[in-house]
Amino acid sequence: MPMLTHIESAVRQRYSQASQGKVDALCCPVEYDRNLLKAIPPEVIERDYGCGDPSRYLRPGETVLDLGSGAGKICFIASQVVGPKGRVIGIDMNDDMLALARKHQRSVGEAIGYHNIEFRKGRIQDLALDLEKLEADLQAHPIQTVDSFLSAEARADDLRVREPLVANESVDVVVSNCVLNLVDPRAKTQLFDEIFRVLRKGGRAVISDIVSDEMVPEEMQNDPELWSGCISGALTEEGFLNAFVLAGFYGIRLLKWDATPWQTVQGIEFRSVTVEAFKGKQGTCYERNQAVIYKGPFKEVLDDDDHWMERGKRYAVCDKTFQLFQKEPYREFFEFIEPRSEVPLEGAQPFVGDGMRIRHPKETKGQDYKANTSSSQCCDAGNCC
Ligand SMILES: C[S@@+](CC[C@H](N)C(=O)[O-])C[C@H]1O[C@@H](n2cnc3c(N)ncnc32)[C@H](O)[C@@H]1O
């Protein structure tokens, strides 16, 4: 663990300064959709400290949460992608960045023809705590003694439960652009858990961030300049993907991996990646006599629920897995086999067995199935075989 005890205040100071004017050292060239930039004021575009573009993976109608929204550029782009039926919430802990984003919120809304964005003050590793509500509370009850400190902590806990900044399972997509690396390493696990908490089942995270190809040594982690410059807090590329696994996500994949590093420091390469991860593998497994075939191209695969499958074989899966494989990012890799007699979900028995087992075609068709059919459906003018 780094000795740097004030990571967060170093980050806050650096981004207060960066909100007042462009800081070149914090910029990483990113290509955004130019059409979507037209409604965004130059002051916001020039204070772009992102390293990727998660907004290009959004869809109309989605509710999006942007972690570390800064001057608001990703929120302003996302607002146009999700359209008037979607919503965008930007979270930042820095007052100056929030003020800059809020200053332009109305004019962007007027330019695009609707208002679907809010900016909220919070720390992304503690998405339940509304820092503006806490601020108001502390003004009413200033902390002067240990007792008043302890009661403020208790009131903060109460706020998290009664008026959370972002409620459980309230968001379709969590995006972030170059911010997760800035979070204190001791809070990184909590950060990924919070992303998981606020996503609804079936939701996803699309995160652009800086990762390193080797572990960042301790002396680099102790340098506040490198910390706030998106270097020292970078997870390794493997560690970044694994953090999603540990939080309970599935279907995790690299949507983008920059071949050219953004910076190289002491031989360690720091590059931008965009990762997508899905929530929804948790839940009860019911037996409905369904099977899947993994189509390839790999000889065998293992998913995030430890289902190991060989190409071309029919595997028995529970209803939950069957439904999951029919969605992104899996569906293109599978064929799906429903039983000839449907097993209704109400009344279905729990799925038995830990490992994967082959499902014999007779289980799907029924032991008594003895039908004969002609080949008419598969051929044009009867010239097949
Ligand atoms: C590198 S800038 C990225 C800003 C923005 N995403 C963009 O694309 O321009 C990092 C932003 O994250 C905010 N930030 C850093 N750590 C944070 C934390 N723990 N909680 C909330 N915001 C944080 C900073 O205040 C700053 O606005």
Please give the span between the terminal C-alpha atoms of the chain, in angstroms, as a whole number. 68
Q: Are 42 and 66 in contact (CB under 8 A)?
A: no
More confident residue, 323 or 3: 323
Tell me the per-residue pLDDT of 247-273, one tens digit each, with 9 for 90 and over.
999 999 999 999 999 999 999 999 999
Average pLDDT (344-368) is 92
pTM of the model: 0.94
Radius of gyration of the chain (CA): 25
Average pLDDT (20-32) is 77
* Per-residue pLDDT at 115: 98
Distance CA 77, CA 108 (A): 10
* Per-residue pLDDT at 383: 65
CA of 97 to the centre of ligand 1 (A): 8
Average pLDDT (185-212) is 97
Q: Does 73 contact ligand 1 (Cβ within 6 A)?
A: yes
Distance CA 183, CA 199 (A): 20
Is the pLDDT at 11 greater than 90, yes or no?
Answer: no
Is the pLDDT at 382 greater than 60, yes or no?
Answer: no
378: confidence class by pLDDT, cuts 50, 70, 90: low
Q: Does 209 contact ligand 1 (Cβ within 6 A)?
A: no
Closest Cα to atom 4 of ligand 1: 70
Mean pLDDT for the chain overall: 93
Tell me the per-residue pLDDT of 113-156, one tens digit each, with 9 for 90 and over.
999 999 999 999 999 999 999 999 999 999 999 999 999 999 99
Q: Does 290 contact ligand 1 (Cβ within 6 A)?
A: no
CA of 81 to the centre of ligand 1 (A): 21
* Per-residue pLDDT at 231: 87
- DSSP one-letter string for 73-107: HHHHHHHHHH-TTSEEEEEES-HHHHHHHHHHHHH
Average pLDDT (332-337) is 98
Ligand 1 atom closest to the Cα of residue 94 is 25
26: confidence class by pLDDT, cuts 50, 70, 90: low
Q: Does 227 contact ligand 1 (Cβ within 6 A)?
A: no
10: confidence class by pLDDT, cuts 50, 70, 90: confident
Closest Cα to atom 10 of ligand 1: 179
* Per-residue pLDDT at 354: 75
Average pLDDT (318-323) is 97
Ligand 1 atom closest to the Cα of residue 70 is 27
